[in-house]
Chains A and B, each alone.
Chain A
Amino acid sequence: MKKRALIPILYILFLMLPIYWLVAMSFKTTNEILSGFSLFPQTFTLDNYKVIFTDPSWYWGYINSIIYVSLNTVISVCVALPAAYAFSRYRFLGDKQLFFWLLTNRMAPAAVFALPFFQLYSSVGLFDTHIAVALAHCLFNIPLAVWILEGFMGGVPKELDETAYVDGYSFPRFFVTIFLPSIKAGVGVAAFFCFMFSWVELLLAKTLTAVAAKPIAATMTKTASSAGYELGLLAAAGTLTIIPGAIVIYFVRNYIARGFALGRV
C-alpha cells in the first residue's frame, strides 16, 4: 500500500517542478537570473509584480481576458442548457446528425479558423471587441457544454419531469425551480470547462484582438520578443495566469473526477 502511494507522489512532484521554477523566477531580479543558477531567489523582490500591477498595458490584459472568458462561459452555458435538455429528453428529426455535427467542431484545428475568423469578425464590425472572442470561443465550448450537460441530464430520471407536469408546473417554472437544481453539479462542471478552454486558448483570441480587447497571453508574447530578456517579468505574468484557474478548480474539486468524465460514468 505504501509503495503504491509513491507513484502519484512522484507524478505530482513532476507536475510541480516547472510551476515552482516559474514562481521562483518571478521573485528574482533580472541580474540574479542572468548571473547564474540559484535554486531559491537570493534577493527576493516583488518588482516584477509591481510592474504588472502599475502598468495599464499589463493589468488590462488580465481584465480583458477575464471579461471575454466570463462572457463566453455565460453565453455557452445559457444556450447549451435548453439544447442539452432537448437531446436528453426528445427524439426529433436529425437529432443524432446534429449532435455529431456539433461535436465535429470540437475537432476543428484552431489554426484552420484563424484567418477566416479574422475576416468574418472584421466584416461584421466586431474586430477587437470582447464579444468577438467570446463568440468565437463558442465554436468549441458550446458543443462541449451540450455534451457535458446532456450526460448529467441523462442521469436524472424522466419521472421527475412527468411528476412536475402532473403537479401543474409550467415548463419554464419546472426547468428553473426543479430541474436546474437537480443538475447543478453538471452546470458547475460545464461552466468550469467553458472557463478553462476559453482561458487557455490563445490563437483565436490573439487573432481577433489588437489593442482594446487584447488578452494577457498575447501581451506576454509581445513582451517576450520585444523587451529582450525580461524573464522575471514574464515569469510573474505567467504565475498570475495560473491563479484564476486554481480558484475555479477549487470550487469544483468535489465533482472534478466525474466532471472530466463528462457525467458519463
Chain B
Amino acid sequence: MKTENQKAWFFVLPVLLLVAFNALIPIMTVVNYSVQETFGNNVFFWQGLDWFEQILRSERFQAALGRQFLFTFLILIIEVPLGIIIALSMPRKGPWVPVCLVLMALPMLIPWNVVGAMWNIFTLPKIGLLGYLMNDVLGITYDMTQNPFAAWVTIITMDVWHWTSLVVLLSYAGLVSIPDAYYQAAKIDGASPWKVFRYIQLPKMKTVLTIAILLRFMDSFNIYTEPFVLTGGGPGNSTTLLSIDLVKIALGQFDLGPAAAMSLIYFAITLLVSWLFYTLMTKDDEQ
C-alpha cells in the first residue's frame, strides 16, 4: 500500500532535528548527572550506579512511587467507566451536541496551575463553595490542609473534574462512528442493552479507548502542577507524588545526582507501563 521511498527522510528531518535538540541533549545531561557526584564549582566525580541503587532502596522514593501508582490506579478506574457512561447517555445528534462537547472540553483548556488555584478557592473552609457546604451546611469537618484523607479525595475529585471529559470525548467519537444499521440489526435480534454495549459499542470504541487509557495513564503518572498548587504535597508528605518529590530533590535541595537517577527510573517506569498497556490492549488485533 505504501511505497518505499528513502527520500521521505527529508520530510521528517525538521521534526527530527527539533525533537532531538529538545529530547537528546537534556536526556544526556540527565544521564551525565546520574553517574556523578558534585560538590559545586563544576567539579564532578565518577559515581557509577550508586545513585540508582540509593534511590531504588530509599523509603522516600518507594513511598512516593506507591502513592503515584495508587493515584493513577484510582484515576483510571474512576474516569474510564464514568467517561463511557456519560458518552453512552449523550444524544447522538441535535443542537445540544456541540454545546455539550464545548462545555465538557472547557476544563481541559484551563492552565494547570489555574485549575489548582480554582480548586483551592473552591474548597477553602468558610470561603469556598465546597468548603462552606461541607463544614457549615452538612456539618462534616473538611479541611484538606489538615486531613490527608480529605486531601486525597480533593486531588482525585479535581482530576476527575479536569480529565474525565477526555474519555467522554474519545468514547463519543467512537460511538457516533457506528452506523445506524448495526443498532437496527440488534433491535431485530432483540438484543438487550448490555449485549448492544458488549458486542457493538465496546468493540467500536476499542481504538479510541486505547488512546484514552494511554493518555490518561501518561498524564496522571506525570502529574505535577495541579496537586502541587492545591496541596503542595501535604499535609505532611501524604500527597507528594513522584513529580512533586522529584522537583523537591532537584530544584529544592539541588541534589543533582540522585534527582537525575530518579528521573531516569521515573521515565523508564512510564515507558514500560505504557508499553505494557499498549501491548495488552492491541494483542487481539494481531491474532
Contacts and interface: CB of A to CB of B under 8 A. Distances in A.
Interface of A: 4-8, 11-12, 14-19, 21-22, 25, 33-34, 36-37, 39, 75, 79-80, 82-83, 85-87, 89-93, 95, 98, 102, 104-117, 119-120, 135-136, 138-139, 142-143, 146, 158, 196, 199-203, 216-217, 220-221, 224, 231, 234-235, 238, 241-242, 244-246, 248-250, 253-254, 256-258, 260-262, 264-265
B174 A261 contact: yes
Interface string B255-270: 0100100010011001
A11 B4 contact: no
B110 interface: yes
A109 B222 contact: yes
Given A112-B246, A139-B22, A257 B101 contact: yes
Interface residues of B, number: 92
B118 A18 contact: yes
Contacts of A241: 110-111, 114
Interface of B: 1-9, 11-12, 14-16, 18-19, 21-23, 25-27, 29-30, 85-86, 89-91, 98, 100-114, 117-119, 121-122, 126-129, 132, 136, 161, 164-166, 168-170, 172-174, 176-177, 207-208, 211, 218, 221-222, 224-225, 229, 242-244, 246-247, 250-251, 256, 259, 263, 266-267, 270-271, 274
Chain A interface helix/strand/loop/mixed: helix
B6 A93 contact: yes
B125 to A, nearest CB: 10
B270 A109 contact: yes
Contact of A22 (B85, B118, B224): B118
Nearest to A237: B114
Contacts of B207: 261, 264-265
B250 A114 contact: yes
Given A201-B112, A248-B109, A260-B166, A265 B12 contact: no
A104 B268 CA distance: 10
Contact of B243 (A34, A92, A111, A249): A111
B114 A220 contact: yes
B26 A238 contact: no
Contacts of B126: 36-37
Contacts of A98: 12, 16
A79 to B, nearest CB: 4
A246 B122 CA distance: 21
A143 B23 CA distance: 12
Given A21-B128, A238-B117, A92 B8 contact: yes
A264 B211 contact: yes
Contacts of B263: 109, 111-112
Contacts of A105: 19, 22-23
Nearest to B247: A111
Contact of B101 (A85, A119, A256): A256
Nearest to B222: A109
22 contacts: A8-B90, A83-B15, A92-B9, A107-B274, A108-B270, A109-B243, A111-B243, A111-B247, A111-B250, A114-B250, A115-B256, A116-B26, A116-B27, A135-B18, A139-B23, A224-B117, A245-B109, A246-B109, A258-B173, A260-B105, A260-B166, A265-B174
Contact of A116 (B25, B89, B104, B165): B25
A200 B208 contact: no
Nearest to B4: A91
Contacts of B270: 107-109
The 4 tightest CB contacts between A and B, nearest first, are A245-B109, A116-B26, A86-B11, A261-B173
Given A86-B8, A143-B19, A253 B246 contact: no
A221 B113 contact: yes
Nearest to A92: B8
A89 B3 contact: yes
Contacts of A235: 121
A105 to B, nearest CB: 5
Contacts of B110: 200, 238, 241-242, 245
Contact of B106 (A15, A21, A254): A15
A117 B274 CA distance: 24
B127 A234 contact: no
Nearest to B14: A79
B15 A109 contact: no
Given A114-B247, A199-B111, A15 B30 contact: no
